Amino acid sequence: MAFAPVKILIVIPVYNHGKTVLEVIQRCQRLHKEILVIDDGSHDLSQDHFKKSCVPVISHPQNLGKGAALATAAKEANRRGYTHMVTMDADLQHLPEDFSLFKQAILQEPSAIIVGKRNFSAATIPKASKFGRAFSNFWFRVQTGHPLGDAQSGFRAYPLFVLKGLTLSQTRYDFEIEVLVKAAWAGVPIRDLDISVHYPPREERISHFHLFMDNARLTRLNTRLTIRSFIPWPHKKLGEKKALKFSIFHPLKSIRNFLAHEVSPFDMALSGAVGVLLGTLPLIGIHTFSILMVTGFFRLNKIVAVGASQFCMPPLVPALCIEIGYFLTHGGQFLTDISFETLGNQFFERFYEYCLGSLVLAPVLAFICFILIFFTATALSTTMGRE
């Protein structure tokens, strides 16, 4: 995507951080002059609280949530012609001086969301914060296939075209998870950036995270996002109009389409092999679920994997598994009576043979699938490069 010259706005959402926000602003101003404060219905700010700082302030008449504050900031930043906004908390947990790291990262990759990865090696870091980060990182990887070091960090750089192009519904802390997951689905690069962090003593900490309500919102959001990630329907890509499909009935056309969208022959072949491997195993009723879980976690192509797994639908592959299992359990004899009676009515009697045979056949078929897709895709890729 072509970018206009990078123009960055620092955004500081504030909710009852009157004691610390002015220092955050002052330290930011030493590095960058373009700053916007969003007062999300604070009760501890006087009418002229920001007068000496000379920064623009947009105030919500009541507390709407951090997500709503960031949405207001994005709308204003777009109106003013900025290309990016860097968000940081107003409680001095983040070091404003780390803004320079974000600026450099934005210039290197302007299309990416940059997420500050807080240094949690210090002994003063609360255990709840460590657990919360690990928990969010795990679900982010399940939902997107992308590893991320700190999915909960509020110190971030957003390309504004991303926030404008996504459909976002959350208005509180869950907004920051929603935007990362949906951006990853839309093909936006998500990058880590090592930053410092400061946790003051417990009695000095200011936190508006409600243990029950905010965790309930996050649980509900993660449940919804996880379910959506399992559905093998392509996600809308920012700037992409046509959804991709992989059909075993039109393999060459499917492979060409994925190559045109920069899916490598190796990734395509590995995804197809995983689909066939899991499709052959006797995971009755949960084949697709299992494929989506595995491909999502290992960042493989879900569409290719699910498409390739259709090759393993009954009756052919399950019958071959039963035949191999029968051969192994009956002294090298084959099941010669292939009928609805033996493969249908006697299915439960044959289930052990099905399981045993699938353990032999699944890796063989997966290997064959990998070889066929890889060499076909490589050949087509060479041909397309000459056209």
What digits encode the pLDDT tens for the residues 18-42?
889 999 999 999 999 999 999 999 9
| pLDDT tens readout for residues 196-225 | 887 765 555 555 555 556 668 778 888 888
| 131 vs 137: CA distance, rounded Å | 10
Is residue 111 classed as helix, strand or coil in its secondary structure? coil
State mean pLDDT over 284-288.
86
Q: Above pLDDT 70, what percent of the chain?
A: 87
Rg of the chain over all Cα atoms, to the nearest angstrom: 26
| Among 204, 90, 105, 121, residue whose Cα is nearest residue 158 | 105
Whole-angstrom Cα distance, residue 84 to residue 133? 25
Q: What is the pLDDT of residue 341?
A: 64
Model confidence at 172, in pLDDT bands (50, 70, 90)?
confident
pLDDT at 145: 83
Type and span of the H or E element at 200: none
DSSP letters spanning 155-166: -EEEEHHHHHHS
The H or E element containing residue 14 is strand 8-14
- Whether 185 has a pLDDT exceeding 60, the answer reads yes
Handedness of CA 153, 158, 162, 167 (dihedral sign): positive
Helix and strand totals (H; E) in the chain: 14, 7
123-142 pLDDT per residue, tens: 567 777 788 888 889 989 98
What residues does 280 pair with on adjacent strands? none
Cα separation, 254 vs 252, whole angstroms: 5
- Joined tokens for residue 383: 């041909």
| 24-28, 175-179, 210-214, 267-271: the lowest-pLDDT one | 210-214
Determine the pLDDT at residue 241.
Answer: 47
pLDDT at residue 333 is higher than 50: yes
Cβ neighbour number for residue 78 with a 10 Å cutoff: 16
User: What structural domains and CATH numbers belong to the chain?
Assistant: 8-230 (3.90.550.10), 251-386 (no CATH)
For the entire predicted model, the pTM comes to: 0.64
Contact in structure between 195 and 94 (CB atoms under 8 Å): yes
Higher per-residue pLDDT: 281 or 48: 281
* pLDDT score of 274: 95
Q: State the pLDDT at residue 384.
A: 66
Q: What single-letter amino acid sits at 139? A: W
Q: How far apart are CA 361 and CA 367, in angstroms?
A: 10
| Mean pLDDT within 75-96 | 94
DSSP β-ladder status, 113-118 and 190-195 = parallel
pLDDT at 146: 86
Residue 251's nearest CA partner among 367, 380, 368, 364 is 380
